[in-house]
Amino acid sequence: MTIFISLSRLVSAALMCCLLAPTAWADSELWGGKPSLGLEFEHQKMAFGAGHANSLTLVPGLSFEDGFIHKVELMLEGERENNVDDGVSQKMHVKKLALRLRKNFELDETWALFVRGLVGRELTTVENFNYTYVDTGIHFERGAFGFMAGLRFQRTLDGTAGHDMNKFRFGPSYDFDAHHEIEFRFVRAWNVQTRKRDSDALIAEYTYKF
């Protein structure tokens, strides 16, 4: 836990310093990749009145236009859950640290398929576990406007119960210019074991491309 908090503060401080001088970073490269920084807010509503959760995720990344892997991202997430069990509300704090890779397959100038893979660790006051997911989807882009739809298959790596999910995700994006992008996503999740709807979520993400 201490290592996660220290790493989060270190990365956050470094990235904030970068944002204070965006002109110095414009059109720059790190290890051959174009750096970016995303900030994502998610509001999640559990099915059957079981509570809700709000989370904030910092997403520093590197994009490689001609690489085998087109994007590498580090994800630092903090979440606050409000669970309701038999009418009793319980609050819980969740922290996640993950690494995510993306591969694009361009079909033409406007359509592309993509695959993303993630490996991470979730830390809470009641359980800690490793997890992974694979995203598959299609992306449309014309001018500044984009739209994506895809499936996510999320699984724990150590058998922790209640966290294996399949998710359907879709939503638009808009590039204001070469540096500023905003995305909106709707996500519906189903529990793999019970096959019942688990939650619905709305996501808004802003990305600055250096």
Identify the residue whose tokens are 């995305």: 183
Read off the amino acid at residue 32. Answer: G
What's the gap between Cα 15 and its chain centre? 17
| H or E stretch at 200 | strand 197-209
Count of alpha carbons within 13 angstroms of residue 68, beta-carbon side:
0
* CATH class label, 2-16+38-209: mainly beta
Q: Can you tell me the distance from the alpha carbon of 40 to that of 58, in angstroms, rounded to the nearest whole number?
A: 7
Phi-psi region of 19 (alpha: psi -120 to 50; beta: other; left: phi over 0): alpha
Q: Where are the domains of the chain?
A: 2-16+38-209
pLDDT value at residue 116: 98
Name residues whose C-beta falls within 8 Å of residue 198's C-beta, 6 or more positions apart in sequence: 46, 47, 165, 189, 190, 191
Q: Note whether 156 and 129 are within 8 A (CB).
A: yes
**Per-residue model confidence as pLDDT tens digits over 157-175:** 998 888 999 999 999 999 9
Contact 163, 156 (CB under 8 A): yes
Segment holding 2, helix H or strand E: helix 2-19
CA atoms within 13 A on the CB side of 167: 24
Q: Is the pLDDT of residue 20 over 50?
A: no
Task: With a cut of 80, say whether residue 36 has pLDDT above it.
Answer: yes
User: Tell me, what's the pLDDT at 28?
Assistant: 67
The 8 Å CB, 24+ separation contacts for 20-24 are: 22/179, 22/208, 22/210
Task: Give the pairing type, strands 180-191 and 34-46.
Answer: unpaired
d(C-alpha 151, C-alpha 115), whole Å: 10
pLDDT tens, 126-161? 899 999 999 999 999 999 999 999 999 999 999 888
Could you read off the pLDDT of 65-121 as tens digits, one per residue?
Answer: 888 999 999 999 999 999 877 667 788 899 999 999 999 999 999 999 999 999 999
Give 16's pLDDT tier (boundaries 50, 70, 90).
low
Give the pLDDT score at 97: 98
Q: What's the token pair of residue 122?
A: 């979730």
CA distance 208 to 60: 10
Terminal alpha carbon distance of the chain: 31
